[in-house]
Structure 1
């Protein structure tokens, strides 16, 4: 097990290496997340619509 003081020093050294994104990168990434979420929801909406249509028509054909 490592010395607690040594561990804290290593954590600080690692934290110093972190590069934070700038404002433009954060905004761009956020916009991309919203676009992908919208596209994914549209895709699943269309798939759900197609399945519902298929089941409705299939049951209607079987039921007369």
Structure 2
């Protein structure tokens, strides 16, 4: 079994982090806004679909919210 060397581990982690291409503040804000907008759109879509299904159940079977 290999001996664990914490100093070597930290050096390797720092090297890997230095290779990462980090997004700019503008890119981060744009993608965050898109995620929030698409999440809201999905929520509205599923709300509408749920209401349509509930209405159909009420009309067909007289049950449902």
TM range (shorter): 0.7 to 0.9
* 1:11 corresponding residue in structure 2: 13
Q: When you count helix as a share of all residues, which structure comes out higher?
A: 1
* Superposition map of 1:1-64 within 5 A: 1=2, 2-60=4-62
**Alpha-carbon RMSD:** 1.4
What TM-score do you get using the length of structure 2 for normalisation?
0.78
Instruction: Give the whole-Å Cα distance in 1 for the aligned partners of 2:55 and 2:33.
Output: 33
What TM-score do you get using the length of structure 1 for normalisation?
0.79
Gaps of 5+ in 2: none
Higher relative contact order at CA 8 Å, sep ≥6: structure 1 or structure 2? 2
Gaps of 5+ in 1: none
Q: CA deviation at 1:4?
A: 2.5
